[in-house]
Amino acid sequence: MPQRSSTVQDGPGAPWWADGEYDTARADRCNEDGMGFLKQAQFSLAFASYSEAIRLCPSSAAYHANRAAAALRLGRYAVALQDARCAIARAPGHLRAHLRAAQACMLLDRPEEALDFYRQALGIKPQCASAQAGAALASKQSASVRADRERDNAAAVLGQRRRLDASPMSTDSAAELLLTADAIMEACPRMQAAKCARVEALIHCRRHAEALDAVKGLVPSIDRTYLEAEALWRSGRLAEALAGLAAVLEDTPGSEKCRSLFAELSSLEQVDAAAAAALAQGRHADCVQLCARALAVPAVEAASGLRAKLLERRARAQTVQGAHGPALADLTAAISLEPAAAACLHLRSQALHLCLAWMLDVFEAVGNPSNAFLDLQRLRAVDPGYPGLFGLLQHAAGRALQQQDRAMPYQGGNAGGCMETHMRVLGLTDCVSHAGVRQAYKQGAAHWHPDKWMHASAAEQADAKQRFLRVRQAYDALVQVSYQT
């Protein structure tokens, strides 16, 4: 068995040979089988044979280089490039590995990388005709790619891309647009137009945080500033969007799309700021009107973050006014606009948290505290550390129990053993009013609620759960009968 070496690694902390069996005799036979299949144009069988050879002896550069040849014939150019790189890592002087890596890069439309591999091949064998011809072709295509990139960058600097559509895009259309943009990015990873198209698709998908991250990969340009402003204001950050646009307009006042967006956002920001001030000053009727005015702007339909923010602010003012039905509708609409935040899949939205917390008061006012409790449970899933959340949950649960509050006398001694059992569960030894039953239930439920036993052992948690259910059942049974003193 050959001595193992760890000079080349396939993964962090793991020697590159870790999964190999190191049966060189079997590996050689598989390699010979692969060569036979390759001559017979049975490329899939050749690829499989070379793969087995690599598994049996991954230290062999020849096996990786041979599989690269099979992958090229199968049209699996990315795999061919990876195999050729593995061969070069194990044997830097392997001429054919360099040639196959270069060929794979050319077929992947990456002539600049191909040119590097051809030049390395010429360093190994200066008179190699294949490397000379390939280098000449790669050099020509590289020059064309650089020229395209320069034109692309110049167009981005001048901001020649058209403005984003202000109307909202359907979920399916936005998803299809993003898939197309990702495919273009994979084919042309360095092109500014491809990067811009992906940012635009992310904005249409309402993935504003991802869009802002993707913007950082663009060259400093009008297009970059414009797309950053679009992502910012649509997510609700109007002031930041305006600041960026103002800066670029000082240097390039001729940018029509930046100038028109700045004008639209300036008027919208004035209304938004006035609505915020009205709410802060207690002018709730003015706040409702100003929010409605901002929401009526057609472009706001496509700005899910800003729209949710305006709906949440209007709901706050409506709650103070006592308009609980409209407030509840606004809060529900605001949450539906940011489902990713509610599902804890993307960045947590402060506005969404406020919406959920404010639902408590609204649901209580319309006589449905149970729904408030459910929404607070959603908030708990999104942000368990939300300030005061446990108190809000307790309050909502208490209000849900009080919804059934009514006086009911009890038929004491003739109720049978079942009622006596329920009374014992609640710790009652005498005939009491419904208020007394409710008080006993609250004490028992507070003690045995599973949330208070989260840090106990598994057995204790199971016992607490059962006891809590019995307390609930006892309460439900006792409130259905009449009480007598």
Name which of 57-71, 172-186, 354-368 the model is least confident about: 354-368
Tell me the DSSP string of 10-42: EETTEETTTT----HHHHHHHHHHHHHHHHTT-
Mean local confidence (pLDDT), 399-422:
50
Judge if 9-155 and 159-266 fold alike in CATH terms: yes
The model scores a pTM over 0.85: no
Task: Please say whether the beta carbons of 81 and 104 come within 8 A.
Answer: yes
**pLDDT tens digits for range 260-292:** 999 999 999 999 999 999 999 999 999 999 999
For residue 9, the surrounding DSSP H or E stretch is strand 9-11
Q: Report the C-alpha gap between 224 and 231 in whole angstroms.
A: 11
Q: Where are the domains of the chain?
A: 9-155, 159-266, 283-402, 417-478
> Which CATH architecture best describes the domain 283-402?
Alpha Horseshoe (1.25)
> pLDDT value at position 149?
66
Mean local confidence (pLDDT), 301-329:
83
Q: Furthest-apart CA pair in the chain: how many Å? A: 111
Name which of 181-195, 354-368, 398-412, 458-472 the model is least confident about: 398-412
Mean local confidence (pLDDT), 35-52:
92
Cα three-residue angle 72-73-74, rounded to 5 degrees: 90
pLDDT at 397 over 90: no
**pLDDT tens digits for range 219-252:** 888 888 899 999 999 988 999 999 999 988 887 7
> pLDDT value at position 12?
43
CATH topology of domain 159-266: 1.25.40
CATH topology of domain 9-155: 1.25.40
Task: Please say whether the beta carbons of 337 and 309 come within 8 A.
Answer: no
> pLDDT value at position 152?
63
* pLDDT band at 21; cut points 50, 70, 90: low
CATH topology of domain 417-478: Helix Hairpins (1.10.287)
> pLDDT value at position 428?
73
